[in-house]
């Protein structure tokens, strides 16, 4: 089924506890509060913290998803909500810069994405390597066979957005707390009434939403367990030449390079530097205590890519970096469903490295489901009874 967008029933005075103040949990909490629920939003280290999958400075906002048109539709709705939220609250959460996809050989993903974009009425443009080089001379197109430009895309300010959404939850009647849940969560075959918190105390509610990203497997080892696999991902910020604006978002869009390894990046923003990231799934990672030091091997790969694709940045100084994580499901689809042992416990996660952009729309989908709506079959827990499908490239 398609995502159930916008059909949220009133939840006046229903007490809802939301665990996890990232993209899914924060926006769901805000949407539920606006539906009349009495929301308590908790997070172990606070909204957008450095351990969270929704932390860090920026995320790509795009609607290109190959044959997975469910996400193109969801991203279309999410983009409209990001823009509407910025207009209403002046949050400056979305920067429209466009997105340029570079294909080295096979562009089947791009062709399928273009069909889905067209179905949603979203603009796009195909460019030859020569046209790409002429438009963006700072970018070397060796090995590029075609390029797809998505003008409505751009990037989001992740940490800022998480903090802003949590502030809106509080402003619109909800409660925001820094608190951790004791693991695992005990479900005894009936409704959950009180959630024990680490360090003592409980959180009482009529309904519970767990949107804890990479910690869902720890909280629900029987239902989720290893079905969400956190992987270690490094992000780098390189310095651009003094006075050179060619690598700013005024002259270069977000870019995604579909080569042997998928690299992506965001042009210099807020004077932080030129962002480069390797999308290849990294090693298994403990999001609580895993080392977040950059590795020499990862830096070397990023430098080699940078020298090839952006020659003027060869030898650019490394200004800093981040180690974050993907929280991948086996098929890279989201997870949204009731806990099979309790009608008032919901689980949302499996962002798989592409979930942040969907936050506002997922808030609607989650709130609609919790108020009696449907859930796309691709996201239900029951799919894990079947053999896991291989994730689509850049899914």
Q: How much is the pTM?
A: 0.95
Sign of the alpha-carbon torsion through 310, 314, 319, 321: positive
**43-66: average pLDDT:** 96
pLDDT digits (tens, 9 = 90+) for 138-162: 999 999 999 999 999 999 999 999 9
CA pair distance 380, 375, nearest whole angstrom: 7
Q: What percent of the chain has pLDDT over 90?
A: 92
* DSSP output for 31-96: HHHHTT-EEEEEESS-TT-TTSTT-SSEEEE----TT-HHHHHHHHHHHHHHHHHHHHH----EEE
**170-187: average pLDDT:** 96
User: Across the beta sheet with 125-127, what order do the strands follow?
Assistant: 125-127, 146-150, 99-103, 254-258, 262-266, 274-278, 229-238, 318-328
Neighbours of 110 (CB within 10 A): 24
Computed over every residue of the chain, the mean pLDDT equals 94
Among residues 162, 152, 135, the alpha carbon closest in space to that of 58 is found at 162
Report angle CA 184, 189, 193 to the nearest 5 degrees: 70
Q: Say which DSSP state 320 is in.
A: E
Phi and psi at 217, nearest 5°, equal -65, -35
Of the chain, the end-to-end C-alpha distance in Å amounts to 19
With a cut of 70, say whether residue 235 has pLDDT above it. yes
CA pair distance 82, 93, nearest whole angstrom: 7
pLDDT digits (tens, 9 = 90+) for 346-390: 999 999 999 999 999 999 999 999 999 999 999 999 999 754 443
With a cut of 90, say whether residue 184 has pLDDT above it. yes
């Amino acid at each position: 089924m398609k995502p159930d967008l916008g059909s949220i029933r009133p939840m006046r005075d229903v007490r809802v506890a939301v665990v996890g103040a990232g993209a899914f949990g924060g926006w769901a909490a805000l949407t539920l509060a606006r539906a009349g629920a009495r929301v308590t939003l908790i997070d172990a280290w606070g909204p957008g913290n450095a351990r969270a999958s929704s932390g860090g400075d920026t995320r790509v906002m795009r609607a290109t998803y190959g044959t997975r048109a469910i996400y193109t539709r969801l991203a279309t709705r999410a983009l409209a909500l990001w823009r509407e939220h910025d207009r209403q609250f002046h949050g400056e959460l979305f920067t429209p810069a466009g997105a340029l996809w570079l294909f080295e050989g096979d562009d089947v993903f791009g062709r399928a994405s273009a069909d889905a974009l067209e179905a949603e009425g979203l603009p796009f443009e195909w460019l030859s390597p020569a046209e790409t080089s002429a438009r963006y001379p700072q970018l070397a197109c060796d090995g590029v066979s075609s390029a797809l430009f998505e003008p409505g895309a751009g990037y989001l300010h992740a940490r800022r957005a998480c903090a802003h959404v949590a502030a809106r939850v509080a402003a619109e009647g909800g409660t925001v707390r820094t608190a951790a849940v004791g693991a695992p969560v005990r479900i005894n075959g009936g409704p959950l009434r009180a959630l024990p918190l680490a360090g003592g105390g409980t959180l009482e509610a009529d309904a519970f939403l767990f949107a804890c990203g990479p910690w869902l497997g720890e909280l629900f080892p029987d239902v989720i367990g290893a079905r969400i696999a956190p992987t270690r991902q490094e992000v780098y910020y390189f310095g651009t030449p003094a006075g050179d604006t060619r690598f700013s978002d005024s002259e270069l869009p977000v870019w995604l390079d579909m080569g042997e390894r998928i690299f992506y990046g965001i042009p210099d923003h807020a004077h932080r530097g030129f962002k480069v990231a390797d999308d290849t799934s990294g090693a298994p990672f403990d999001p609580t205590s895993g080392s977040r030091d950059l590795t020499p091997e990862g830096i070397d790969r990023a430098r080699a890519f940078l020298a090839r694709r952006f020659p003027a940045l060869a030898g650019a100084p490394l200004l800093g970096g981040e180690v974050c994580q993907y929280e991948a499901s086996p098929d890279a689809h989201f997870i949204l469903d009731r806990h099979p042992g309790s009608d008032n416990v919901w689980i949302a996660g499996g962002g798989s490295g592409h979930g942040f952009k969907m936050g506002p729309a997922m808030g609607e989908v989650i709130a609609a489901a919790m108020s009696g709506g449907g859930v796309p079959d691709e996201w239900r827990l029951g799919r894990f009874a079947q053999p896991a499908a291989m994730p689509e490239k850049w899914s």
